Amino acid sequence: MAGSGPHFLVFANEKGGTGKSTTAVHCAVALAAEGRKVAAIDLDTRQRTLGRYLDNRAATLRRLGIDLPMPAYATFDPAKGESLAEAVARIGDGAEAVVIDTPGRDDPQARAAMVMADILVTPINDSFVDLDLIGEVDAETYRVRRPSFYAELVWNSRTERAKTQGRSVDWVVLRNRLQYVEAHNMRRVGAALDELSRRVGFRVIPGLSERVIYRELFPKGLTLLDLPQIGQAGIAHIAARQELREMIAGLGLPEAAPSMAPLQAAE
């Protein structure tokens, strides 16, 4: 990855409640913990979940006087007159990986970020409601009838990237919150996803389970990689950390460049 510019991981899903921002934050911190120089950019100027999460993390580091892996980060605001490309160049200067969290809606900045993506990550909950975002399923057979609007949007983004940059987008659908889904329904969703992945062209990897842990970590900006700071970490924390590590491995990023020190947070 070194010498070829940053690797872009873009988290995008037009449906809310899929754990997109939580996953993006954990991904950014996990990559920084590997010794990569990481930048994180929040495109959602309204909810600003990724930005607020990392604000909380920076405040915890100052309050406790500790040093933890921390990406450089900022919230992009188009009202300030800066283009997304200019903001990415400024915030991601010297970064090995750039994590971009898009809003849970269709807007021009989200579409522009999708074209930048080396890896486009679409987290979904394991339900047909979420699956409908990328493919319509027959009510009787549960077979995929046709790709949905979002799949077409991703296809267009991949085509544009291939034309302008000569490179394709690795589209990854992340199956989040598997734990509390009834097994029969989970198998049906999985079968539909497998069928759709062959038709549309994405990879499916397991994401993060539904755990109270993630909501509890937000106020301090901590992640599952910060077990010494969490206090009273139990088996559930360790299992969740392993899920995170397996998810990062599943994304298939290039190896980290040697002698990389994490960037400091700046906003």
d(CA 96, CA 244): 20
Per-chain mean pLDDT for the chain: 87
Residue span of the structural domain in which 192 resides: 7-251
How many domains does the chain fold into? 1
Strand positions, DSSP E, 21-126: 38-42, 72-75, 97-101, 119-125
**Does residue 261 fall inside a structural domain?**
no
At residue 264, does pLDDT exceed 50?
no
Q: Give yes or no for residue 210 having a pLDDT over 80.
A: no
CA distance 83 to 15: 25
Beta strands 38-42 and 72-75 are parallel
93 lies in some domain:
yes
pLDDT greater than 80 at residue 233? no
CA distance 54 to 40: 9
The answer to whether the CB of 41 falls within 8 A of the CB of 92 is yes
- The CA distance from 195 to 189, in Å, is 10
**What single-letter amino acid sits at 248?**
I
Give residue 177's pLDDT. Answer: 65
* 256 within domain boundaries: no
Q: Residue 85 falls within a domain, yes or no? A: yes
Q: How far apart are CA 145 and CA 195, in angstroms?
A: 10
In total, the chain counts a number of residues equal to: 267
State the pLDDT at residue 258.
58
Q: Is the pLDDT of residue 266 over 60?
A: no
Q: Give residue-wise pLDDT tens across range 127-156.
A: 888 888 889 988 888 888 888 989 999 998
Who has greater pLDDT, 4 or 6?
Answer: 6
CATH number at residue 149: 3.40.50.300
So what's the pLDDT on residue 58? 97
Name the region of 202 (left: φ>0; alpha: ψ -120 to 50; beta: rest).
Answer: beta
**Exposed / middle / buried, residue 119 (Cβ in 10 Å: 0-12, 13-18, 19+):** buried
Confidence of residue 4 (pLDDT cuts 50, 70, 90): low
